[in-house]
Amino acid sequence: MVRKVDKQKIEKILKILVKYPDGLWIRKLSRETNLAPSTIEYYIHYIIFEITESIGVKDKNGKYFGLRIIKLKPKILETIKKEGFKKIYEFLEFSKKI
């Protein structure tokens, strides 16, 4: 199933990730954005994976289990703080993510 990409959801996620530069776990990100955890997972895994880092423990199959922290890559965070979200959206559009 291919979902329609919602720029407003991306913006919600990015704004919260900027607010927590050290990262936060999926459930807290879900609560802060009022988006379902599955929606957060989808956007992180398929749409914004190039600009985020996932920190946590993986099983032998490469799947995260337990606590998984999501945060923006340092250069992305720096770009957003200096120039806002416009450059990030341009990058995501260029990479055909949105």
| CATH number, position 89 | 1.10.10.10
| Residue 1 located in a structural domain | no
| Residue 84 located in a structural domain | yes
| Residue 90 located in a structural domain | yes
Q: How many domains does the chain have?
A: 1
40-76 residue pLDDT tens: 999 998 999 999 999 888 788 877 777 789 999 999 9
Per-residue H/E/C for the chain: CCCCCCHHHHHHHHHHHHHCCCCEEHHHHHHHHCCCHHHHHHHHHHHCHHHEEEEEEECCCCCEEEEEEEEECHHHHHHHHHHCCHHHHHHHHHCCCC
* Domain span including residue 85: 7-94
Q: How sure is the predictor about 12, in pLDDT bands with cuts at 50, 70 and 90? A: very high
| Residue 28 located in a structural domain | yes
| Residue 2 located in a structural domain | no
Share of the chain above pLDDT 90, in %: 58
